[in-house]
Amino acid sequence: MVVIVDYRAGNLTSVVRSLKALGVEGQVTQDPAVVAKAARIVFPGVGAAGTAMATLRELRLDAALKEAFQRGVPILGICLGAQVVLDYSEENGNTPCLGLIPGATRALPLQPGLKIPHMGWNTVRFVREHPISKGLPEGAEYYFVHSYYPSPAEESMILGVTEHGIAFPSVMGRKNLVATQFHPEKSGRFGLRLLENFLAWDGLWPDA
């Protein structure tokens, strides 16, 4: 059983369906006790950092996620779930976040002719080996919907990069946590392969 964190940030059904396509049942929960004791966690989400963090604190899921991280539980953050694992987000006035990965979530810079939100299919260039990217070909495209991006403090925590006006980190990792700015559950066969890799991962990776 894989625990899927429900903090009223949507995007849960597609995650459940993708896991089911891989033969795995996902348990959607708002119960911090279930999250804290989970064997494997998917932390998805769409929306704004301020609302997300307020809800995580209200449901006491912030502490549960930190406890699971400290226990070494494999965790996959997706989209908003990849942004709020950092120290803070520039969204909603420098919102304090979970601090599982040192760094900040930053706004994509406005540029003439550049559409923001960044929405649609785009490539990910993996820059560092990690079990999460096993078997994923160069040039594969994944589905994005976002106006902010994760920016880890240490370059060694950046696993993949995507171009949209700037080259921004689109996959990052620290210890037993990996996170993607794109939506693997909406990214076809390559997204499913990434999810499959996560399900097989033991959570071990050299700390940055």
Q: Is 185 a catalytic residue?
A: yes
* Active-site residue, selected from the candidate residues 79, 118, 130, 164: 79
Q: Is 97 a catalytic residue?
A: no
Q: Give residue 11's region: left, alpha or beta (phi > 0; psi -120 to 50).
A: left
Local structure of 21: helix, strand or coil: helix
Q: Give residue 72's region: left, alpha or beta (phi > 0; psi -120 to 50).
A: left
* Active-site residue, selected from the candidate residues 118, 146, 164, 183: 183
d(CA 44, CA 22): 17
Could you tell me how far CA 77 lies from the centroid of its own chain? 2
Whether residue 142 contacts residue 187, with contact meaning beta carbons closer than 8 Å, is answered with yes
Q: Is 79 a catalytic residue?
A: yes
d(CA 107, CA 128): 24
* Active-site residue, selected from the candidate residues 118, 130, 146, 185: 185
Residue positions annotated with a catalytic role: 79, 183, 185
